[in-house]
Structure 1
Amino acid sequence: MTERSLVTGANGQDGVYLVERLLAAGHQVHGMCHSADGARRLVEKFPTVIVHVAELENASRIRDLIDETEPTLVFNLAGNTSVARSWEEPAETADVLGVGPIRLLEASWKLSQRLGREVRMLQASSAEIFGDASEVPQTENTPRRPVTPYGAAKEFAHEMASVYRARGMYVSSAVLYNHESPRRPEAFVARKIAKAVARIALGQQETITLGNIDVHRDWGYAPDYVDAMIRIISQPESGDYIVATGVSHSVREFVAEAFAVAGVDDWEPRVIIDPGLYRPADPKRLVGDPSKLRSIGWRPSVTFDELVKIMVTAEIEKSTA
């Protein structure tokens, strides 16, 4: 039977990479976008994708979408991925990222009961569920104590995935750490740095303004993390998986490496620190232990230095095209 995959958030960074992979594997792919404009852009990229406009806040629409498409696989990547924005819209964040996945879980569970077959779901969880983690690195069993609205919403969805798993549903949570690519929106710090550094190197701007550059993150390459999602949902049994490289770097290191790639030596005077950009709460050291994921054959294909080079080089090419 041909796999029929539903990808929510299909025109986001991860969604686009995932749709590419699933189409290449011969899946019939349904892509859910939250706007008609997003749906149009997705079809332009992938003419064979069947697109749907829906929002996770709309329970009846989500139920109808699951019933209409009758997927064998559901990848939930939908929702704003900006931790900073979650402080501006905490209630919306709770609904979309916390309650929204439950609407998908319930609709998928009911479809599986009606059809008498498994409907597998992968929930895109986040390292933010650990907050100021009690241990470094974090594992699948590390206590979860989020410190942001984004993390709290993701934690609720993560817990509810476990509840449905105990009920008998196949649902896995991929606990994603920071993962970047040239497709990352410009509001995110890694893409912001890469673009600004490229422009500085080309003489198109003078400085870059950033917040706290001494926080540490476990940075990976988005296509590698999409590969992890596919591996996870393909396992015989569902469960939670840390998706990380196991190595942390500070934002400061990212900045320094970006300037090095661009051939700019004296970079410190070009970076302006604005305390106004500091978040109300920001986990200081999130780094994951991917041992469980490695046990099913996954390895990152790109190192930290290579990731920074990919992103800065892409920005230089865009600026000089």
Structure 2
Amino acid sequence: MKSALVTGANGQDGILLSRYLLTLGYKVHGTVRGVDRAVEKGVQRHVITEATLNVWEELMAEVAPDEIYLLGADSFAGMPLNGVSQMLESNVMLMAHQLEAASRSVPGARVFAAGSAAVFGDPGSLPQTETTPRLPTSLYGSCKALLHPLADLGRRSGQFVSIGMLFNHESPLRPERFVTRKITSTAARIAAGSMEKLKLGNLDVVRDWGHAEDYVKAMHLILQAREADDWVIATGEGHTVREFCQMVFELLGLNYLDHVLSVPEFWRPAEKVPLIGDSSRLMTQLGWRREKSFTVLVEEMVAHDVRLAGSGHQA
């Protein structure tokens, strides 16, 4: 039986990846940051209170995983500049500790690290591929860009370290601080009778939104490749926030124009060239295929939040 260690096992990707690996017959270990954080049923939980090199070494030696999925990091691209220390610590230093621990405790383990499309910043070409220059324009993107030389160093020392440059990927498990879930949860409450308005920023911003269930399957495929590398995980389709809103409210029998406000506090300019990825290489070389369309994604998220709104629960 293969074993896997999934960090950030209580997050959207951690839950969905753990669930998928369990269906494949893996023994799954998952790390969380607090004793109150739950993981998928069937996953052996490990609480990390101090993410030091020694802690990771001891854990990896104990678990001895065949595969390691590094998903536990701050993933909110809107973090302000004064959060630089926290972002560096929770992304760059965290991965540095984890890679070093793996090299010492389980040198034969294969490692997947969650990268981001934010490394491309305001790209000069469309769509973005593995060869598109990484020119981040945000703190989050800059920190994610620093993961690539860390992975390169690991490869040169004989480690199998791959990075998935993940474009936006959603599911009903997304926290409400992300715009897609903010839209579906607020719209569901409005449909249930709430008089609130949905306050957003620039409705013409374009995003490449995929289903997180498809993306965690790509993560697993990447660790089955012959060689470690960097891979783009994306749909290749761009949709505006406006399109997302329109579809959500139409599913609820409403007109988004009656309920959505574009307010300055959330405003951000649209990129000159939108972030839309090309996963052709992932599809041709590793056989990855999307199983859930944009429409299915939106329908699932709306249905989930309608159930929550009807029960009176908040996510």
Q: TM-score, length-normalised on structure 1?
A: 0.92
Structure with the higher helix share, 1 or 2: 1
Alpha-carbon deviation of 1:132? 0.5
Contact 2:22 2:28 in 1 (8 A): yes
Q: Residue 262 of structure 2 is aligned with which of 260, 273, 292?
A: 273
Q: Does 1:90 align with 2:84?
A: yes
Alpha-carbon deviation of 1:180? 0.5
One-letter code aligned to 1:98: V
Match of 1:286, SS? Answer: coil
Alpha-carbon deviation of 1:316? 1.0
Aligned counterparts, 1:1-321, within 5 A: 2-38=1-37, 41-42=38-39, 45-46=40-41, 48-54=42-48, 57-85=51-79, 87=81, 89-113=83-107, 118-265=108-255, 267-278=256-267, 285-295=274-284, 296-321=286-311
Match of 1:5, SS? Answer: strand
Percent sequence identity over aligned pairs: 38
Contact 2:57 2:104 in 1 (8 A): no
Alpha-carbon deviation of 1:283? 7.9
Contact 1:139 1:288 in 2 (8 A): yes
Q: For residues 133 and 284 of structure 1, what CA distance do their matches in structure 2 show?
A: 6
Greater Cα offset, 104-113 or 173-182: 104-113
Q: What is the RMSD computed on CA atoms of the aligned residues?
A: 1.8
Alpha-carbon deviation of 1:159? 2.4
Greater Cα offset, 20-29 or 4-13: 20-29
Greater Cα offset, 136-145 or 234-243: 234-243
Q: Which 5+ residue runs of structure 1 have no aligned equivalent?
A: none
Q: For residues 270 and 158 of structure 2, what CA distance do their matches in structure 1 show?
A: 37
Q: For residues 252 and 183 of structure 1, what CA distance do their matches in structure 2 show?
A: 22
Match of 2:176, SS? Answer: coil
Match of 2:31, SS? Answer: strand
Alpha-carbon deviation of 1:280? 9.1
Q: For residues 225 and 20 of structure 1, what CA distance do their matches in structure 2 show?
A: 13
Question: Aligned pairs, how many?
Answer: 310
Match of 1:196, SS? Answer: helix
